[in-house]
Structure formats: C-alpha cells, structure tokens
Amino acid sequence: MSCVLCCVQGVSAQSTPAPQGVPEPEAPTMDFTEQPRAAPTEAASDTAPPPDPVPPPPPAAEPQPLSQPSDKPASADERFDDDQRFAILSRGGYPLTPGVTSAKYPDEVVVSGYLQAQYEGHRESENGQLQGGALLNKDRFLIRRGRIKVSRDWQWGQVVLEIDGNTVRGPTLRLQKAEVSVLYGRRADPDLPPLVQLTAGQFDQPFGFELTYTSKARWFTERSVGSRATFPSEPDVGVRLSGGLAFARYSIAMTNGEPLDERSGFGLQDPNRNKDITARFGAEAKPTKHFVIAGGVSFNHGRGYHAATDSTKSTTSWRDANENGAVDAGEVLGQPAVQGTPAQTFGRWAMGADLELLLRTRIGWSMLHAEAFAASNLDRGLLISDPIVSGADLRQYGYLIALTQEITRYGAVGVRYDYYNPDSDFLDNRAGKQLPTSQRVQTVTGVAALVLPGHARLLFEYAVTNDYLARDMRGVPADLPNNQWTLRLQGMF
C-alpha cells in the first residue's frame, strides 16, 4: 500500500506542486484488500515496468494526501487513486495493452524474466526421419522460453532489451525485443499507455490481441494455429507509434515484414524494399472495478518475397529407364544451362478484429476472448503462401474463441476453440478431377493450471486437432492423428 502512495507522490510531484506547510501525507485511502487477487506485479512486467519500488519524491514536492480536503481541484492522478478501477488489469495479471509505460516507473534498471520448461507428448510421434532429415519424434522435454528482460525508464523515454533462450530447434539464444522509445503523456494508471510513444527497434507487431498478449501471462501454452501461421513469431524490426487517450488505443508500425522465425530464411531481414504496415485501433474500458471490455480492429499490408534462383551449368543425368542398374543407350539425358530467375514480390494483407471481456467475481477473473481475421498470401508458418508459384492469390481466414477462469488465486482452467484455413481455394485431385477441398485446421485446447501467485505456474494442456493433413482409404484428405499434450512449469521473477 505504501508503495502505491509513493508512486502517486512521485507523479504528483511532477505535475502538482504542493503548497508550503502541508503536513505529511497519511496512508492512502485506496483499499485493494477487497480484490480477490493480490497484485502479482511480475505478471504485468512483460509489457509494463512494475509499479514498485519507486524513488522517494523530492522533498519540495509533497502532494496533498488524497484523503484530506483541499482547495485545489484533484489532479488526474488523484482521481485515479479515488477510482477503484485503478491498475486492476496490471494487478490482476492481464496486461491487455502492450507497451504500457505508466508514470510509476522505477528510477533504476529493472530486471525481470521467466522460464517455461515443459514436456510435450504428440500422438503422431515416431522414431525415424522423413526425407530431408526432419525428425518424426516430437515427444520431448524442452525449454520453450527462457527470457530475461532489462528495462530502464525515464520520464520521456524507455529502453527495453529482452533475450530469449530456448531449445525448440536446438540450443538458441537470441534477441527477442530491443526497443528504444520516446514518449509523452505518461499516466498514473499502469493500465493506461502514454498519449504518444514512438518506438524504434525490435518489438511485437500490433495485430489483434493474441499476438501482442505476453506469453508470460497467457494461460494457453501457445497462440492459436492461425495466429502462428500468419505471424510465426511476435517481433519484427521497425518503428511504431502507439498510445492511448481515455478508452481509445492505437498502435501503428512500419516494419521489415519478415518477422522472427519466418521460414523464408529472411527472418528479421528484409529482402525487398517495401516495408509492411501493421496497425491496431481499439478501445479498452473499465466500466467497473469488476468488469473490463476491450477490442479492436487490425490490419497488415505489405509485400512478400519470392526468392531468385541461380543460373545453372549444363549437366547430364542418368535415368535408369529399364531399371537394370546399368547405363544403357538413351538413358543419359543432357540438361542445358538455364538462366536464373529473378526475384519477385507479391502483395499480401490481413484484416482482423478482436474482443476481450474480463469479469472479476469471488472465484477470480474470467476472460472471454474472441478474434477473427482474413488474409491474403500471409501464411508464413504453416503452408507457406507463394502466389508466384501457385499462380493465384492464396486466401486465409481464421477465428478463435477462448474462455479462461481463475479458481481463487491458486488455479485456473481454460478452453479455446480455434479455426484456420490456409487456402480457401485449395483443389485436390480426386478420381481424376480437381475438386475444391477444405484444408482447415481446427483445434480445441483445454488447460488447467496450479498457481503460486506471482512466482510459478504448473500447466497441463491437451489440444485436440482436427485437420486434413492425412488421407483416408479413398485417398481423400482426412484427419491426421496429431493431438498433443503439454506439461509446463513456469517460474518468473
């Protein structure tokens, strides 16, 4: 409680000089004890610096105690403190708006982090390898995310550096975030972003809600299939303008358009001159201290890259037409030199909408999240879109609905349904005819968690996937038995 007071004092000191002779302030009247959940400030620190500790205010800038009458009208920060909706999201561990850098920043370097160690069981796992060397076994222990974040705030700026280590594709240590921001209009409420924040560096792309929601706070182990297909990883390199005013939120980014983990091999680079524009315009309101409603619309527009091919020399090849293992007449074929093909680019876009409802009851926070998108040529992670090869634009769409429910401070359960179609115009060869065929992937994911508030989580998740990645007896695309379960232990500091 005292640390909250310190924060308010610090902010007030900058904006509301107190008259001389004002007595020492007493404890604030804010009472968070009614809240069913204590403030796990670590859970919010992925996107916002923790509100405490904060430096002591300058002696000459003591604010009015919030509970005492004053001739001056109450400052904005004091009104926040009177309002019990103050900081309910960050305290509840639901940092809906990324990049929140409130006025309550600590005047020091802040180090935070989390580690997600897990075991995965996949029904389709086998011993062996596919042609090309891909492993068939997916049952394994792994470090999914091990992140250390260092941040430093000033009144007009912020620097964030986050390193991620994982063993998803072997031992990896890489840059996850590297942001430098200048900003104006910090707010006292840790749920509110500044009025304007200009960020350069490597940051999460502002599309929808799921992409920017920190994996540290998310109950489900991974984002939905559609989100991972269109945005294989969250960060990209570029500049971003973001902020909020009252209930409105905005975030507009110009990036290279090749996010981390993109399978083209150009992740975080930029093979074409074009820059992608990604933006989300939304709203976030806290009508009561028990209810939050948020939502937004997003879009992405950019250009994909079809790589060039090298010129070749003349070669010969042998085709064992009669399969006798010997080179016979007519089986040696000449392949003349071929000119390389130039690189090409293609247009791609996505539009989406999201809605989040949060309700706090005696049991704990409930969160209902729904999201939908439509895209063109934007699959960069599952069935890679390349209209130069396919000869036509590839249309994607997907949606999800998820419900999570805290069970007191020490547990949570959740269920999510998501749907993704990577190519709405896919044609399959059936009995000699090309017929329109769905390629949709739909997944129902259930999760149950035990929580050590503010410190650790033990999650068990089971995902039932229904897709068309196999074939049935008739040769028709059918469901591949690839359900998955995950047992994850997450620790954070």
Partner 1 sequence: MRRSWLQLTLFAGLASAACASGGSGADQPFRVRGAQFFEGELPGFLPSERSERSPRVTSFETANLRVRQGQGGKAFSGRADGDTSSIAVALDGVSTGYWVLPIGSVDAVTNELSWSVSADFGRSILPGRYTLGIVAIDGAGVAGDQLLQELCVLGRVPDNGRACSDTAEPPNVVISLQWDNNADLDLTVVSPSGARLGAKHTAADGDEADETSKLDRDSNAACVTDNIRTENLVWNETSPTGTHHVYVNLFDACKQPAVRFSVDVYTPEDPGTGDASYLVRRLRRTGELLEISADPLATRPLFITDVTFD
Q: Catalog residues that contact partner 1 under the rule CB under 8 A.
A: 121-130, 136, 139, 321-325, 428-432, 448, 460, 462, 470-476, 480-481, 483-485
**CB of 61 or CB of 476, closer to partner 1:** 476
User: Please, what's the b/e burial string for 268-292 (b: 16 or more CB within 10 A of its CB; e: otherwise)?
Assistant: bebbbebbbbbbbebebebeeebeb
**CB of 346 or CB of 462, closer to partner 1:** 462
Residue that is written with structure tokens 């160690």 in the block: 117
**CB of 130 or CB of 173, closer to partner 1:** 130
| Residue 2 φ then ψ, to 5° | -65, -30
**CB of 154 or CB of 318, closer to partner 1:** 318
> Which one, of 329, 313, 312, lies nearest residue 321 by Cα?
329
* Token pair belonging to 209: 């809600």
Tell me how far apart the alpha carbons of residues 249 and 421 are, in angstroms, rounded to a whole number: 29
Residue type, 151: S
- Closest approach, Cβ 414 to partner 1, in A, equals 14
The separation between CA 25 and the C-alpha centre of its own chain, rounded to angstroms, equals: 41
| Residue 166 φ then ψ, to 5° | -155, 170
- Closest approach, Cβ 293 to partner 1, in A, equals 32
- Closest approach, Cβ 412 to partner 1, in A, equals 15
377 contact partners, CB below 8 Å, separation of at least 6: 304, 346, 347, 348, 349, 385, 386, 387, 393, 394
**CB of 58 or CB of 475, closer to partner 1:** 475
**CB of 316 or CB of 339, closer to partner 1:** 316
Q: What is the DSSP letter of 98?
A: T
* Token pair belonging to 427: 């044609």
Tell me how far apart the alpha carbons of residues 394 and 348 are, in angstroms, rounded to a whole number: 9
**CB of 52 or CB of 139, closer to partner 1:** 139
* Token pair belonging to 327: 């080179």
